[in-house]
Chain A
Amino acid sequence: MSFWEVTVFLFDGFLISLLIFGVTLLCGAPLGLPIAFCSMSKYKVVRNTSKVIVWIVRGVPLMLQIFIIYYVPGLLFQFPLFSKVDQFFFLNWGISDAGRIMAVLIAFTLNYACYFSEIYRGGIESIPKGQYEAGYVLGLTKSQIFRKIILKQVIQRIVPPMSNEIITLIKDTALANCIIVCEIIKQAKELAATKAMVWPLFYTGVFYLIFVGLLTIVLGRLEKKLSYFRS
């Protein structure tokens, strides 16, 4: 295989990595918000339930969570949901791995939503009480205060920790290969096994580096754009 052919082959895998990255970000980031609000709820039951869930999800290795999501429907209900989805997609459209990818997406989204929720909570709780009070005194409602005053300050404060998580996320996508999803590293291992080529495994790093470089630039710009005020 030529260098170019290896690149294309690996890029196929990287597209899967990017898919996991994109869906996790798009679903996990919004899902983190209700979790954050539950963790700050004035009702003890809601607050504690939320905190226990976050504790479990953050306390267990993501790889283990992928296994759990993937195998539990089969083990507990004698219904291997994700293998069935795999077969269904393959038989109908010739698409392989759909069920496995779905299991990975669910595990990643839940996991990252919990991490994001803690970042949101920290951000929201760091806004001084005086900001709310200044809003109340001017006759604003609770929701107006949150939307018009608090939100942007929270966003400014969470961009740096969110950037860290986002950069971690692209590298975490490699964990998908624990249930044989053909992300980039799985592809490279395939080459090592079938063609006795080891160098593509190291070459995958370049893909990550380029993508992380782009992310760093974009997130840095966002941070700079929000730095016009100091709270």
Chain B
Amino acid sequence: MALLTVENIKKSFGKTEVLKGITFSLEKGEVLSIIGSSGSGKTTLLRCLNFLETPQMGCITVNGETLFDAADSRTLSEAAIRLNRLHFGLVFQQFNLFPQYTVKQNITLAEELLAKEHIKKTGSYCGHTDYHEAVAAIDKKADGLLEEVGLSDKRDNYPCQLSGGQQQRVAIARALAMEPDILCFDEPTSALDPELTGEVLRVIRELKKAGRTMIIVTHEMEFARDVSDTVMFMDGGVVAEMGPPEQVIGNPQNSRTKEFLSRFNER
């Protein structure tokens, strides 16, 4: 069974229909890249998956559990949405780190709050009955994540003291800290100077090796080609073409895909 199934997602803002029925599925450990020209609805799709937007129609199922069904109002309550969000992580184009917290605090903040809440409600969090014990475990995990993104030495720095590439790596570690089933990236390198994109892409490649399930919206064709298992080309709110990278990027069948890629190669 697929880890994630997305069925017929439709999203409109007022009268403009931005997603016109998106359907796809994702296996555990699979990496999906989404390409397509600006305005085709890529960001909106990721925002729907992270419940920052509510689609007017469609279903989202993770691990067999229906997280969202536009026809079922129970899945739309604020509490349900909040729980659902933990299945997904999102790395933003603009990083959105919390400026008043250190790198380490950025990573641990959300889980510490979750642990506090759980201990208060149920008496324990991940086997810890004591909040300080839980915090120690969360700290340790953060150190591991910082090592994974190569920023152990920046642990106590503030975001404003880091380069864009470093900030984006912190954002990745922060998203991983909540242990999402699926990690989404919205053009993670678009806000970076060209010489800084490499360090971020390298981290994502490592995550693939570690078997993470990821959805990556990107304009880095070379990267998409060799990191993805599947590439989706979106056009005007629909999936125009989807398949292995050798096909979609290497030998596109759809005329719109061909046009998009040829415009891309001109640069």
Spell out A's residues near B (CB within 8 Å).
128, 130-131, 133-141, 144, 148-149, 152-153, 156, 228-231
Q: Top 9 nearest A-B pairs by Cβ distance?
A: A138-B110, A134-B96, A230-B160, A130-B96, A231-B99, A229-B99, A137-B90, A229-B100, A152-B100
Interface of A is mostly: helix
Q: Whose C-beta in chain B lies nearest to the C-beta of A147?
A: B113
15 contacting pairs across A/B (C-beta < 8 A): A131-B98, A134-B97, A136-B51, A138-B109, A138-B110, A139-B83, A139-B178, A148-B113, A152-B100, A153-B99, A156-B100, A229-B99, A229-B158, A231-B99, A231-B100
In the complex the two chains form, what is the Cα distance from A152 to B101 in whole Å? 10
Interface contact A230-B113, CB-CB below 8 Å = no
Contact A148 B114, CB 8 Å, known A134-B98, A153-B99:
no
Interface contact B100-A137, CB-CB below 8 Å = no
User: Which A residues touch B90, using CB under 8 A?
Assistant: 137
The count of residues in chain B whose C-beta lies closer than 8 Å to any C-beta of chain A is 27
Q: Whose C-beta in chain A lies nearest to the C-beta of B102?
A: A229
B237 CB-CB contact with A under 8 Å: no
In the complex the two chains form, what is the Cα distance from A99 to B248 in whole Å? 81
Q: Shortest CB–CB separation between residue B171 and chain A, in angstroms?
A: 8
Interface contact B178-A138, CB-CB below 8 Å = yes
B92 CB-CB contact with A under 8 Å: yes
In the complex the two chains form, what is the Cα distance from A144 to B89 in whole Å? 18
Interface contact A139-B52, CB-CB below 8 Å = no
Question: What is the 8 Å Cβ interface bit string for chain B, positions 68-110, against chain A (1 contact, 0 not)?
Answer: 0000000000000011011011101010111110000000011
Spell out B's residues near A (CB within 8 Å).
50-52, 82-83, 85-86, 88-90, 92, 94, 96-100, 109-110, 113-114, 158-160, 174-175, 178
Q: Whose C-beta in chain A lies nearest to the C-beta of B79?
A: A141
Instruction: Determine which residue in B50, B88, B90, B110 has the highest number of CB atoms from chain A within 10 A of its CB, and name it.
Output: B110
In the complex the two chains form, what is the Cα distance from A141 to B117 in whole Å? 11
Contact A134 B99, CB 8 Å, known A139-B86, A229-B158:
no
Interface contact A228-B158, CB-CB below 8 Å = yes
Q: Shortest CB–CB separation between residue B77 and chain A, in angstroms?
A: 13
Q: Shortest CB–CB separation between residue A138 and chain B, in angstroms?
A: 4
Q: Whose C-beta in chain A lies nearest to the C-beta of B171?
A: A134
User: Which B residues touch A134, using CB under 8 A?
Assistant: 92, 96-98
Instruction: Determine which residue in A138, A140, A231 has the highest number of CB atoms from chain B within 10 A of its CB, and name it.
Output: A138
Interface contact A149-B98, CB-CB below 8 Å = yes
Q: Shortest CB–CB separation between residue A223 and chain B, in angstroms?
A: 15
In the complex the two chains form, what is the Cα distance from A139 to B113 in whole Å? 10
User: Which A residues touch B97, using CB under 8 A?
Assistant: 134
User: Which A residues touch B92, using CB under 8 A?
Assistant: 130, 133-134
Q: Shortest CB–CB separation between residue A44 and chain B, in angstroms?
A: 19
User: Which B residues touch A138, using CB under 8 A?
Assistant: 85, 109-110, 174-175, 178
Q: Whose C-beta in chain A lies nearest to the C-beta of B98?
A: A149
Interface contact B89-A137, CB-CB below 8 Å = yes
In the complex the two chains form, what is the Cα distance from A121 to B179 in whole Å? 35
**Partner of B82 from A133, A139, A153 at Cβ < 8 Å:** A139
User: Which A residues touch B89, using CB under 8 A?
Assistant: 137
Starting from the known contacts A131-B96, A139-B114, 16 additional A-B residue pairs (CB-CB under 8 Å) come to A130-B92, A131-B98, A134-B97, A136-B85, A137-B88, A138-B110, A139-B83, A139-B86, A140-B110, A148-B109, A153-B100, A228-B158, A229-B158, A230-B99, A231-B99, A231-B100
Instruction: Determine which residue in A135, A139, A141 has the highest number of CB atoms from chain B within 10 A of its CB, and name it.
Output: A139
User: Which A residues touch B85, using CB under 8 A?
Assistant: 136-139
